[in-house]
Amino acid sequence: MMDEENQTADPFPETLKESTSLHEKAKQNLRFGLRIAIGVLLIGALILLPRFQDRIYSLLPLIPPFGVEGSGSLDWLPELKASPTFTPNSGFDRLFTPTPAATQTVQDQPIEMEESPYIHPQGHFQFEYPAGWTVEGDDQEATILTPDRSGRILIQVTDTGKPLDADSFKSFVEGREANQFTQPDSTESAYIPLEESIDESGGSAVVTKELYRDGEFEVVRSRYLQDGELIYTGDLWTREDLLESHARAMDLIWDSISGNSEEAGDLEAYHWVLRKEDPEKSYSVDVPIPWLPEQTRSRSSSIESYHSPDQHGIIQLIRYTTEIDLSDATVGNFVLQLLRDYYTRDVVITADQIVSNGNEQLTWYSPSGGYRGITQFRRIGLHTLVILTIIIDNDYLEIYQDLRDRTMDSFVIEGSTE
């Protein structure tokens, strides 16, 4: 009895143990539930976050649903960020402050320059170039060739319509690099980045890469310079073993380049274009080279998007394939649903017509969004639909309207509707 009386009483009765056990289980379940909830929230945030960023329209679903209520008007065109002031130049103005000469080594012999500079036929720019080198120019560009043709430098100028801010200038560089030098649909080419220096606020950049094409490697060093609404580009194409010597000559050419904004300012905005063709050969279209590309593909559909550097315009191509037979009426309803669900809920159609290339074209605008669009589409056979849409902020119509019309005129859909 004494042993039993002297036994220490259990401070946790069985009922309390059961209660505590249940409490612990409840806490474990709660913690587990919270982890699940947090995980769902994080995943949801990752999905929804881009909707509140500049490229909200990049979330266009691959397969637009039928009969689904839209989520309302999408304010996807952001305000233009603060742009640097631009004072028109008079005549040729030096674009670069010449780079201080580095201490020369025995191998770095001075490069003799031609006595007279090269002047663009339309007066867009002029530059000095090494003696013995030749320049082949036309109304659009100038190509500088080494004496042995082992290297070449291509000089071009692009009018952006308005001066680009720092982020937009960086987007210009990235877009041009992607469209001009990469072939994403080719398995026999490669873009190997070697060096990149982008001064967004200063409006200058140098990008060096190695390209593999047609079984050969070639090094390209591209230079970019912003002067108001004009951006000058220079591309040095050479072999890797000649890059250093040819780059020295290019530096001298680039330091000497002078621009005439009054003459070059007459250029159409983003007149340099690239012919793009989808892998299925169902369509082709001209797109501005500096517009940043974005591609999304699935088994039944593909989306090709090209974003203007300032994010006030977009070109979007959709190729949709289904096992269901598509009639003309079905296609028309499909496109209208697409416009209402993914571009703007309050779409107002101002014109519906068959244009000269045989495509149906809708002209529309969004009162709440403050932007306008043109959509062309056509059925190929019974199971494929191709759609081109170009959307522009109202405040940028004056800049991009001609570009929009040129792009629409270049749009070709291959294949019969039968």
Checking if the pLDDT of 251 tops 70, the result is yes
In the structure, what pLDDT confidence band is assigned to residue 103 with cuts at 50, 70 and 90?
very low
**Mean pLDDT of the 275-279 span:** 88
Secondary structure element (H or E) that encloses residue 353, with its range? strand 348-354
Residue 364: predicted pLDDT? 96
Checking if the pLDDT of 71 tops 90, the result is no
**Mean pLDDT of the 192-211 span:** 95
Better pLDDT: 318 or 70:
318
CB 399 within 8 A of CB 269: yes
Amino acid at 128: E
> How many C-beta atoms lie closer than 10 Å to residue 96's C-beta?
16
Average pLDDT of the residues of the chain: 78
Interatomic CA distance for residues 112 and 94, integer angstroms: 20
- 53 exposure class (CB count in 10 Å sphere: 0-12, 13-18, 19+): exposed
In the structure, what pLDDT confidence band is assigned to residue 255 with cuts at 50, 70 and 90?
very high
Percent of the chain with pLDDT over 70: 72
Interatomic CA distance for residues 412 and 213, integer angstroms: 27
- This prediction has a pTM of 0.74
CB 205 within 8 A of CB 189: no
Residue 26: predicted pLDDT? 42
Residue 227: predicted pLDDT? 93
Report residue 403: phi and psi, to 5°. Answer: -60, -45
Residue 394: predicted pLDDT? 96
In the structure, what pLDDT confidence band is assigned to residue 186 with cuts at 50, 70 and 90?
low
Strand pairing report for 384-393 and 273-277: unpaired
Residue 104: predicted pLDDT? 40
Checking if the pLDDT of 19 tops 90, the result is no
Residue 118: predicted pLDDT? 95
Find the Cα–Cα–Cα–Cα dihedral 367, 368, 373, 376, rounded to 10°: -90
3-state class of 113 per DSSP?
A: strand
Show the tokens assigned to 416.
């019969």
Residue 70: predicted pLDDT? 34
Checking if the pLDDT of 45 tops 50, the result is no
The contacts of residue 123 (CB under 8 Å, 6+ apart) are 260, 263, 264
Give per-residue pLDDT as tens, 369-404.
Answer: 999 999 999 999 999 999 999 999 999 999 999 999
Interatomic CA distance for residues 345 and 192, integer angstroms: 43
Lowest mean per-residue pLDDT among 19-28, 115-124, 159-168: 19-28
Q: Which of 179, 251, 263 is closest to 227 using CA atoms?
A: 263
Q: For tokens 């170039």, what's the residue?
A: 129
Residue 88: predicted pLDDT? 28
Checking if the pLDDT of 90 tops 60, the result is no
Residue 50: predicted pLDDT? 39
Percent of the chain with pLDDT over 90: 55
Lowest mean per-residue pLDDT among 114-128, 250-264, 348-362, 388-402: 250-264
Secondary structure element (H or E) that encloses residue 41, with its range? helix 14-48
In the structure, what pLDDT confidence band is assigned to residue 163 with cuts at 50, 70 and 90?
very high
Name the CA radius of gyration of the chain, rounded: 30
**Mean pLDDT of the 353-381 span:** 94
CB 181 within 8 A of CB 209: yes
In the structure, what pLDDT confidence band is assigned to residue 409 with cuts at 50, 70 and 90?
very high
Better pLDDT: 182 or 20:
182
Lowest mean per-residue pLDDT among 84-93, 136-145, 229-238, 298-307: 84-93
Residue 14: predicted pLDDT? 39
**CA distances from residue 358 to 285, 354, 414, 416 in whole angstroms, order as listed:** 15, 6, 11, 10
CB 365 within 8 A of CB 371: yes
Residue 389: predicted pLDDT? 97
Amino acid at 81: K
In the structure, what pLDDT confidence band is assigned to residue 107 with cuts at 50, 70 and 90?
low
CA–chain centroid gap for 207, Å, is 17
CB 158 within 8 A of CB 124: no
Give per-residue pLDDT as tens, 210-248.
Answer: 998 878 899 999 999 999 999 999 999 999 999 999 999
Checking if the pLDDT of 60 tops 70, the result is no
Interatomic CA distance for residues 287 and 246, integer angstroms: 31
Residue 140: predicted pLDDT? 85
In the chain, the domains with their CATH numbers are 54-78+273-413 (3.40.1000.10), 93-264 (3.40.1000.10)
